[in-house]
């Protein structure tokens, strides 16, 4: 499979790129609005992987070209760019029959901590589903992974991620994909209507890291 990580220059994009590159044989494309930035970061990721004894080529392109050349597209852009990014991909007619996975979470902060701040659709996953063509398979996953821990190839993860999609076969396809990564267990959380409760875990784990001295880069396990 060819997996495009849009926003692959950001922190969660870095983690997903190096984990998929080091632990699977899928071709990974780093996407960015700026093709030269994608090229630069792909080189950085190749160097990081080489330092771990892993010789892999990381492909790179702007988000549009990355999407048109991928079987699976991970929308790892900042949450406030999710709507714009999807609209641009739709306008350019590059979203067809890919599997599109969104890890994004809308959050706002105040003095107490971070809070779930969804769009009017209820969740970013449902916003993506509303904007994308009907032919594109939509799923949410990878929301509540601590970026630094994901990107650190020496770190044991031992965490869960929750998968939402309306089609049970799409959910299973994403679960199987995630389970290729050591240390991340995928669980189904059901249809996209259940995405809000999944996305809401991300501000929670950040608040837990803030309020418990001995916890950082907090992940979650369901037992």
Binders of a second copy: how many residues, by CB under 8 A? 36
| Stretch of 8-16, 39-47, 62-70, 196-204 contacting a second copy, by CB under 8 A | 196-204
Q: According to the binding rule CB under 8 A, does residue 201 interact with a second copy?
A: yes
Q: Does 116 bind a second copy (CB under 8 A)?
A: yes
Show the tokens assigned to 209.
């890291």
Instruction: Enter the tokens of residue 77.
Output: 């852009």
CA dist 172 and 164 (Å) reads 10
Question: Is there binding between residue 221 and a second copy (CB under 8 A)?
Answer: yes
* Packing angle of the helix pair 35-51, 11-23 (nearest 10 deg): 50
Q: Please identify, among the stretches 56-64, 65-73, 127-135, 215-223, the one whose residues bind a second copy according to the rule CB under 8 A.
A: 215-223
Q: How far is CA 56 from CA 2, 3, 95, 105, 130, in A?
A: 14, 14, 27, 30, 36
In the complex, least distance from residue 18 CB atom to a second copy, rounded to whole angstroms: 21
Radius of gyration of the chain (CA): 16
* Site residues for a second copy per CB under 8 A: 110, 112-113, 115-116, 158-159, 162, 171, 187-191, 193-194, 196-198, 200-201, 203-205, 207-208, 210-212, 215, 218-223
């Amino acid at each position: 499979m060819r997996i495009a990580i849009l926003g692959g220059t950001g922190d969660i994009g870095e983690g997903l790129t190096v984990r998929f590159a080091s632990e699977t044989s899928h071709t990974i494309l780093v996407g960015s609005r700026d093709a030269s930035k994608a090229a630069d970061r792909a080189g950085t990721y190749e160097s990081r992987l080489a330092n771990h004894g892993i010789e892999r080529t990381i492909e790179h392109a702007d988000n549009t070209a990355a999407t048109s050349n991928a079987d699976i597209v991970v929308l790892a852009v900042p949450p406030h760019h999710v709507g714009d990014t999807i609209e641009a991909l739709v306008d350019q007619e590059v979203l067809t029959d890919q599997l599109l996975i969104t890890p994004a979470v809308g959050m706002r902060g105040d003095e107490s901590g971070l809070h779930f701040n969804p769009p009017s659709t209820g969740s970013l996953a449902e916003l993506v589903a509303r904007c994308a063509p009907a032919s594109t398979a939509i799923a949410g996953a990878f929301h509540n992974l601590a970026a630094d821990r994901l990107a650190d190839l020496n770190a044991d993860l031992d965490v869960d991620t929750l998968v939402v999609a309306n089609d049970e076969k799409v959910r299973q396809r994403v679960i199987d994909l995630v389970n290729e990564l050591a240390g991340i267990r995928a669980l189904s959380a059901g249809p996209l209507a259940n995405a809000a409760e999944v996305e809401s875990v991300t501000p929670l784990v950040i608040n837990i890291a803030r309020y418990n001295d001995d916890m950082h880069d907090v992940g979650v396990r369901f037992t």
